[in-house]
Chains A and B, each alone.
Chain A
Amino acid sequence: MHDDILYSIRKLVVEYTTRAGAVKAVDDVSLDIRRGEIIGLVGESGCGKSTLGKALMRLHTGPAKITEGELWFDGRDLMTLPIEEMPEIRGAEIGMVFQDPMTSLNPVQRILDHLTETIQTHEPEVSDADARTRAEELIERLGIRKERITEYPHQMSGGMRQRVMISLALALRAKLVIADEPTTSLDVIVEAKFLDLLKELQKEFGLTILLITHNIGVVAEISDRIAVMYAAKMMEVGDVNDVFAQPKHPYTQGLLRSVPNILLDGAELYKMAGAPPDLSHPPSGCRFHTRCPFVMDICREEVPPLEAIEGAQSAACWLYPSVMAKRLEKEHA
């Protein structure tokens, strides 16, 4: 795996305007996505992971806005680009696969047209014949017979539609694919095959994938690294083996213990007390402190920064000396 960073998210803040005022759905989140990796972004509903995913392509409109932060994609800060230039990047350099394949494909367009249109919009010099050949090769690669390219989305199953979505991203040789709950609406066998496919694409095309999901099992199956979000903040980031073996953040610990594991015998499901906080009135200090079994005074007062704990694993928790050290550093500065 490369240490070369493809997408560096720095101190991102995304705000929603609601009836009760402004709510920060993503609050000061930083994350580096390395070239060629599959990184899983997990968290419960409402933690901000989907919002973060959409923000990476600056897809938010209406009540949601990126109010702070930098989005360094492949060497340039996307926040400095005028919004009119974003469509060039979307699809061509960053692709997105959404949760519901039913609604993300145009029902009156054949798959062939979806693909050729995508190709020709971004690369107008490609002829119709060439675009079609490319499209056919692509869907064959993804396991769909090329004769089916003239079908309409409703004629295909959910799993196939998701593959078509991926092929749209691959058609333009996107560098990064953001997959937001791509398998949540799929049956488990189809899901397994889709995950296999993602892994193959990573290997063959060097594709970088940000896999956003609430399903911890899915992340464990194919990710190289895992990032855990809670209440709009990043709690822990690290290599998937390290985090699962030794979760540092108490939330991660609780989360991993509460996930059903089909291979474990005779266990009882662990339950975390409390519920995720209301983001319009988040708790003071560390967002998790109201449910944390290891809560200390400082947790109630100050937000812990995300700092490296051990090797490549970072957590935002006052329990760890390296995090505490950062604070002392700041005090002395």
Chain B
Amino acid sequence: MDNIGEHPPEITPPTETWEVELQKVSIVRRILNSRKWYGADWWFVAVSSVLVVIFIIIAIFPSLFAPYDPSALVGPSFLAPGAYPPVPELIVSNTSSANSLKDLAVTSDQPRPTISVVQGGNSAGALNDAAKEIDNQIKNESGGLRLRPVIDRYATVEEALQAVVDGKDTAAVVGSDEFVRLKAQYPTLREGESIAGGAKTAGGFLLGTNDIGQDVWSRLLWGTRVALIIGFSSSLLSLIIGVPLGLMAAFIGGSFDRLMSLLMDSMYAFPGLILAIAITAVLGPSVINVIVAIAVLYIPTYYRMVRGQTLAVKEDVYVEAARSIGARSREILQRYIFPNVIPSVAIIFSVNVADAILTGAGLAFLGLGLPPTIPDWGIDLARGQRFIQNAWWLITFPGLTILLVVLAFTLMGEGLMEIFNPKLRER
């Protein structure tokens, strides 16, 4: 125990404190350990970040997960979720020797085969695809056989089958379950092979199909890409513009601050969706314009938050200390104020993305912004609205997906805000 002594007392670095030990522990353990400390918030952040990561992966590689092309008319309309479309098969008369579609191939001087289908089913599409495929296969073979059937459409299955019975068509392509049902009425017909085009629909439609036969599930997955692109890009754009403005306004103060705040407050006061509608209406439909419109919406949010934080930090003692050591204003802004303001920005970014996705869907729902060729949840919502009675799944699943994505981003942002609140970080 020294008195005012000769040697400076040795201060050991924190080698034994729990914090240093904590640093030695792997990050996985640390995350698990923090669970007890942060309670429910930890779970929110954990679950929602996993969801967010999943969504991002889906957005980057939608084709890995989506069984069908989102714009392709791959199935019968209004197929309920989980239901399997009937496998289309070739129906010929008992007297015919053909069994498969290929058998119907003829040479160019022979009359083309006519095949009857039911309008609106997946049979027509399947037949078309299968015929093309086979045609491509055989056209280079010797013999000059081609398969280019003429397709006759009928309103009902019965009419299509009757046409074969009457000899008007060479064959029919109908769903196998339909033929099974009606087989007894048409004793002169027999089943051939199933149409290869059915292989494409063999995957089934997880969430059903929409009014024109597109796979709902695939559209949802592909829609993620658009939603996330819009969400992230617009938030990023708002950030890039709003943050520096907020920093400068708070730091410089004076009339610049007053003017800027006036402008931002006016923008903020304007109802968001209306502003976005106005901008997209003026600029025209495209993804870029939607991004810009939404970005404009959120600039005031970043501006206000950053300005408020900067005003607070500006008065902190370490900023005064920075002045006292002779640092220039630019340095103070860069190294003392900015790094302390940024964490809060990162957190509202997450919530912002959620909000932007919601706004984007809203715009698309109203028919603004996105060209109809791009699969988007909002457009699906709009289309599905009409059929809510018969085909509830058309509006439900896009709606649920939007809900889930928005929830995931919001929870992650809010949870992070709880955890990274600087007041909690104590020693």
Are any A and B Cβ atoms less than 8 Å apart in their complex? yes
Query: A273, B16: Cβ atoms under 8 Å?
Result: no
Query: B1, A272: Cβ atoms under 8 Å?
Result: yes
A269-B4 contact given A17-B36, A18-B37, A19-B33, CB 8 Å threshold: yes
- Which residues 7-30 of B have a CB within 8 angstroms of A? 9, 16-19, 21-22
A-side contacts of B108, CB under 8 Å: none
B-side contacts of A20, CB under 8 Å: 18-19, 21-22, 33
Query: A268, B22: Cβ atoms under 8 Å?
Result: no
CA distance A19 to B19 in the complex (A): 10
B166 interface residue (CB < 8 Å to A): no
CA distance A17 to B21 in the complex (A): 17
CA distance A56 to B297 in the complex (A): 53
Residue-by-residue, is B73-86 near A (CB-CB < 8 Å gives 1, otherwise 0)? 00000000000000
Shortest Cβ distance from A103 into chain B, in angstroms? 14
A-side contacts of B19, CB under 8 Å: 20
Closest to B34 in A: A19
Query: A273, B22: Cβ atoms under 8 Å?
Result: no
Residue-by-residue, is A114-145 near B (CB-CB < 8 Å gives 1, otherwise 0)? 00000000000000000000000000000000
Query: A270, B16: Cβ atoms under 8 Å?
Result: no
B390 interface residue (CB < 8 Å to A): no
Closest to A273 in B: B1
A-side contacts of B1, CB under 8 Å: 254, 271-273, 291, 293
Query: B4, A271: Cβ atoms under 8 Å?
Result: yes
Closest to B35 in A: A19
Query: A19, B9: Cβ atoms under 8 Å?
Result: no
- Which residues 245-259 of A have a CB within 8 angstroms of B? 254
Closest to A272 in B: B1
A332 interface residue (CB < 8 Å to B): no
Query: B37, A278: Cβ atoms under 8 Å?
Result: no
CA distance A272 to B36 in the complex (A): 37
Chain A: interface residue count, which band? 10 to 19
CA distance A273 to B37 in the complex (A): 33
Shortest Cβ distance from B204 into chain A, in angstroms? 48
A-side contacts of B2, CB under 8 Å: 271, 273
A17-B18 contact given A271-B3, A273-B1, CB 8 Å threshold: no
B-side contacts of A18, CB under 8 Å: 37
A-side contacts of B3, CB under 8 Å: 268, 270-271
Query: B37, A17: Cβ atoms under 8 Å?
Result: yes
- Which residues 286-303 of A have a CB within 8 angstroms of B? 291, 293
Closest to A22 in B: B36
CA distance A280 to B9 in the complex (A): 25
A281 interface residue (CB < 8 Å to B): yes
Partner of A19, one of B4, B16, B17, B37: B37
- Which residues 353-394 of B have a CB within 8 angstroms of A? none
Residue-by-residue, is A84-127 near B (CB-CB < 8 Å gives 1, otherwise 0)? 00000000000000000000000000000000000000000000
Closest to B33 in A: A19
User: Which residue, B9, B18, B36, has most C-beta atoms of chain A within 10 A?
Assistant: B18
B-side contacts of A280, CB under 8 Å: 18
Which residues of B are interface residues toward A (Cβ below 8 A)? 1-4, 9, 16-19, 21-22, 33-34, 36-37
Starting from the known contacts A19-B34, A273-B9, 20 additional A-B residue pairs (CB-CB under 8 Å) come to A19-B33, A19-B36, A19-B37, A20-B18, A20-B21, A20-B33, A254-B1, A268-B3, A270-B3, A271-B1, A271-B3, A271-B9, A272-B1, A273-B2, A278-B16, A278-B17, A278-B18, A280-B18, A281-B18, A293-B1
